[in-house]
Structure 1
Amino acid sequence: MTAVTRIVGFVVGLVVVFALALGLGRVVGPVGEPAAAHAGSADAHGDADRSAAAADLPGGLLVSDAGHTLRLSSPTAPAGQDVPVTFTVTGPDGTAVSDYEVEHEKELHLIAVRRDLTGYQHVHPTLAADGTWTTALDLEPGTWRLFADFTASGADPLTLGTDLTVPGTAALAAPVPETRTVTVDGYTVTVTGDLVAGQDAALTLSVSKDGRPVTDLQPYLGAYGHLVALREGDLAYLHVHPDGEPGDGRTQPGPDVVFHTSVPSAGAYRLYLDFQHDGVVRTAPLAVTATASDHPAAATPRSSSTTSDHGDDH
């Protein structure tokens, strides 16, 4: 065999080896691909863990949950009366949701409160065909927390929260001690019942006027009263539902309105009771302190509790 023949044979051998290696590489994939696939699985597992963690949170702490996001048209608004505020709720596909279930006579309930727990407002925005909600709020300078309480068609009930900044200078309100009796426009509202972290509780709110019990409360949003509970500090929005409803044959139109709730932790909670009498809706702000439980109950995931209870909290 000549030197030239040996060289040609060597080159042909290299080409064959290279071709085999390339073909094998295409079959098994690049080095490290299994690890990359494992990392992807870890990411998916992490997303599942985050979703499970979100399900255990009280409402209103998240701007996005279960594929839905609360989006303000602007993160700021001027101070003033009847300030227009617009927003959308986008769904899992990223587009604005325009089809909602009616809950307590409305498709969406918007709660606005300044972060010092003053200026509470409960309004019902107007929905445009493109999924844009519009309402008007009375805003003082400060940071406001907005809670959108809704059920998109085909989805579970949700309460999403986001902040709205109102530029300007305003003094923060002093902390409020426990307040179980308050008078608003001549009406006195008293709350009885105790809150214990992790346990179901019944709160009775009694309405009187000029020292006489009010026994002819008018239905408001399908009940004789509407109660919102917020945890001081992070403003967690708690689900509260009334016991009974007008026309059920057992629920009286006052003076007592009973609500059921469960608080996740000990500490201070602010209660806002909306009630209607003589054709006017009034709001009574109260403050109750929850105590720690000696035998804390297991937390109930929000994904299951909202389905059964949320339909009755507005």
Structure 2
Amino acid sequence: MNNRFIRIVFVVLFVFGLTGRNHVFAETVGGKGHQHENMQYMPSMSEEETVASIKTEPEHITAGTPATIVSSIKDRQERPITDLTVHHDRLVHVVIASQDFSVFAHIHPEDFGSVTSEMKKTAQYPVKYTFPKAGRYIVGIDYAVKERPVSKHFSVHVAGGPEMGSPKKDMEREKRFGDLDVRFSPVQEHITAGKEVKLSYLFRKNGKAVTDLEPYLSAPMHLAIISGDLTRFMHTHGEIPGEAPMGHAEHMHMTVPKQFGPQIDVHVVFPAKGLYQIFGQVGYQGKVILTSFMVEVE
């Protein structure tokens, strides 16, 4: 049986911050893939980096049909990396978003059953997902090797229908998500590429400050930041105001109060100008609240 390969070249970055608390985007080279014959997606590697790929089952994905995404993580000699570090309660985090930003998911192999010894031995970690619309998606994966977090991403095309629309520019700064009213405030009036910016989230309910937010996967907030052209991706985490800034190792094993609020801050360095969609997830009353805001970087 003939296999088909889609190979996409990426610059794959270990996620080190410029100031010890910032996070760096994983970024594609040129933003375009080269189509070959097998539905496998593989970035390139450099001398210090791991090699990750994903494959989909079935090979050709159709909207509305359940699919399995298998992440494979190897070293430079193509040997499975069998000792990933658990970070934020999971071995591998998988983030999925559609190009029109109407679809978002943050899932893990553990969501579908126990991580088996065979998964660890082969360093292949499956997740299940049904893509609801046809079009282009970004699939980001995050894992850690020897306490060093790594972020990589891939572009996946889904056939069938209905087709997704075009991204819409939405600069609204106050929205309701579930039972919560959320005000999103970049501290700087203008966000400049290459410079740190603080983003603040203020949560209210019925006009009152919410002080009983809950941790989600051992963080005050998980955030996926994606450029409008899907060529840049970052998975980062919020901080509670007044706490000491954390490095990446501390972020992976951070201790979060059982309840907190109403404000969560995020420190980010955007690598290039353009539009970015910021998806945030925070715990509240046993549920996960998903937020979505857009910024423009100059």
Fold equivalence (TM over 0.5): yes
In structure 2, the partner of 1:270 is 277
**Cα deviation, residue 171, structure 1:** 3.5
Which deviations, in whole Å up to 9, do the C-alpha atoms of 1:63-112 show, x marking residues without a partner?
Answer: 23324122314453232275432231232121333321111221111100
Q: Is the 8 A contact 1:238 1:263 kept in 2?
A: no
In structure 2, the partner of 1:72 is 55
**Cα deviation, residue 61, structure 1:** 2.6
In structure 2, the partner of 1:13 is none
Aligned residues: 239
Q: What are the residue-to-residue correspondences of 1:215-294 with 2, within 5 Å?
A: 215-238=211-234, 240-244=236-240, 253-291=260-298
Q: Residues 197 and 219 from structure 1, CA distance in 2 versus in 1: closer, same or farther, beyond 3 angstroms? A: same
- 1:162 alignment partner AA: F
Matched, 1:168 2:160: yes
User: How far apart, CA to CA, are the structure 1 residues paired with 2:145 and 2:64?
Assistant: 31
Q: Is the 8 A contact 1:64 1:70 kept in 2?
A: no
- 2:92 alignment partner AA: L
In structure 2, the partner of 1:14 is none
The structure number with the bigger radius of gyration is 1
Q: Is the 8 A contact 2:101 2:167 kept in 1?
A: no
Q: Is the 8 A contact 2:239 2:264 kept in 1?
A: yes
Secondary structure at the counterpart of residue 240 of structure 1: strand
Aligned equivalent of 1:106, options 90, 96, 99: 90
- 2:224 alignment partner AA: V
Q: Residues 209 and 138 from structure 1, CA distance in 2 versus in 1: closer, same or farther, beyond 3 angstroms? A: farther
Q: Residues 60 and 133 from structure 1, CA distance in 2 versus in 1: closer, same or farther, beyond 3 angstroms? A: farther
Aligned equivalent of 2:196, options 195, 200, 225: 200
**Cα deviation, residue 151, structure 1:** 1.3
Percent identity (aligned): 19
Matched, 1:86 2:70: yes
**Cα deviation, residue 278, structure 1:** 0.7
User: How far apart, CA to CA, are the structure 2 residues paired with 1:112 and 1:77?
Assistant: 14
Aligned equivalent of 1:147, options 95, 118, 140: 140
In structure 2, the partner of 1:37 is none
User: How far apart, CA to CA, are the structure 2 residues paired with 1:222 and 1:285?
Assistant: 20
In structure 1, the partner of 2:210 is 214
- 2:44 alignment partner AA: S
Secondary structure at the counterpart of residue 84 of structure 2: coil
Considering only aligned residues, what root-mean-square deviation do their CA atoms show, in Å?
A: 2.9
Which deviations, in whole Å up to 9, do the C-alpha atoms of 1:196-218 show, x marking residues without a partner?
Answer: 21111111111122322211011
Aligned equivalent of 2:109, options 125, 138, 142: 125
Q: Is the 8 A contact 1:104 1:222 kept in 2?
A: yes
User: How far apart, CA to CA, are the structure 2 residues paired with 1:135 and 1:278?
Assistant: 26
More strand by share: 2
In structure 1, the partner of 2:180 is 187
Secondary structure at the counterpart of residue 213 of structure 2: coil
User: How far apart, CA to CA, are the structure 1 residues paired with 2:235 and 2:67?
Assistant: 28
User: How far apart, CA to CA, are the structure 1 residues paired with 2:144 and 2:227?
Assistant: 23
Matched, 1:59 2:45: no
- 1:64 alignment partner AA: S
**Cα deviation, residue 265, structure 1:** 1.9
More helix by share: 1
